[in-house]
Homo-oligomer: A and B are copies of this chain.
Amino acid sequence: MQHVFDRCRPLIDGAVANYIPELALVDPEQFGLAATTLTGETAGFGDVDTPFTIQSVSKPFAYALALELRGFDVVDAHIDVEPSGEAFNQFSLDPATGHPRNAMINAGAIAATSLIPGDADRATPALLDYLSRFVGHTIAVDEKVYRSESETGHRNRAIAHLLRSVDVLEGSPDDVLDTYFRQCSALVSTRDLSMMAATLANGGVQPVTGDVLISPLVLRRVLSVMATCGLYDGAGDWLTNVGLPAKSGVSGAIMAVLPGRVGAAAWSPRLNEHGNSMRGVAAFRMLSDEFGLHVFEVHHSIADARTR
């Protein structure tokens, strides 16, 4: 992994997200890379302990919590599970169902957050507590980023009102957005995300605390949706070349899961044209190739055994 880290560090293409002023202030040179085993040991390289806002990497966890608390029937009546070729912040709902296409694009993620019971006063701490249990310690909200997102998030506000107009979102759009913007502003490190990924890889059981955080069918669902919808426009490219359920965020983080094996995370702020971390994508491509992590890799031992 040190080798992969060293080879990705020189990549300085791409640009830091600037759609909210606070995000644009980050030092673009930062780079962290970590992997965590199912027994909770983390190997970390670079800036693995620097905090950043979790942004869209929170989406699979909010989706999981909605599924755990409301069940498949309710959640599936609001959010589809179809891949979407679109950018993360597009408006279109599925023309046939009228639902967001999946919970990894903003429309579906806002809908998922709205399904967490209670108004913002109750839903926000429930969600932050859930994220904290994956990390293994209490996580805080970056209040500056939260306010910045809340003041400038016109597009998310438009999406929430659109969802309200088609009865996908049932409460007050402003209230749901308050939770959503705080959820996106939760502070994590690369090490934290790697532990969260390891919890998913470990069947939903936090490797260190032993907390059972996701039930088997919800986990299968969340990993499936991450596999096809986790990296926006580049989803097909990602599944083809890296082959791991994963989720990226606009702060430059990517979290990836090899089910039953290992969790990993990368963080570096410069993004490619799809909004995914340049170094993060490069690092996971190399890791997948060098360690044979692709979920559809048929390991040679199997074939060899047969052809002997």
Q: A residues touching B (Cβ–Cβ < 8 Å)? A: 38-39, 80-85, 91-92, 101-102, 154-155, 157-162, 164-165, 173, 201-205, 207, 210, 212, 216, 219-221, 223-225, 227-229, 233, 235-237, 239-240, 243, 245, 259-260, 294-300, 302-303, 306-307
Q: How many chain copies does the complex carry?
A: 4
Question: Are A158 and B154 in contact, with the CB atoms below 8 A?
Answer: no
Contacts of A302 in B (CB 8 A): 38, 202-203, 260
> Whole-angstrom distance between the alpha carbons of A102 and B296 in the complex?
18
Give the distance to chain B from A20, nearest Cβ to Cβ, in Å. Answer: 12
CA distance A155 to B240 in the complex (A): 29
Give the chain B neighbours of A225 by CB distance below 8 A: 236, 240
Once the chains bind, are A83 and B259 in contact (CB under 8 Å)? no
Partner of A306, one of B39, B228, B229: B39
Complex interface: chain B residues within 8 A of A158 (CB)? 158-162, 164-165
How many angstroms from the CA of A192 to the CA of B211 in the assembled complex? 46
Bound CA span A260–B82, Å: 26
The residue that A236 contacts in the complex, of B82, B205, B294, B295, with Cβ under 8 A, is: B82
Task: Give bound CA distance, A91 to B173, whole Å.
Answer: 18
- The reply to whether B157 and A161 form a contact with Cβ atoms under 8 Å apart is yes
A220 in contact with B154 given A236-B82, A240-B225 (CB within 8 Å): no
**Which of B154, B205, B220, B299 is A303 in contact with, Cβ under 8 Å?**
B205
Chain B residue nearest to A169 in the complex (CB): B154
Residue of chain B at shortest CB distance from A223:
B296
Taking a contact as CB atoms closer than 8 A, the residue among B101, B210, B212, B236 that contacts A102 in the complex is: B236
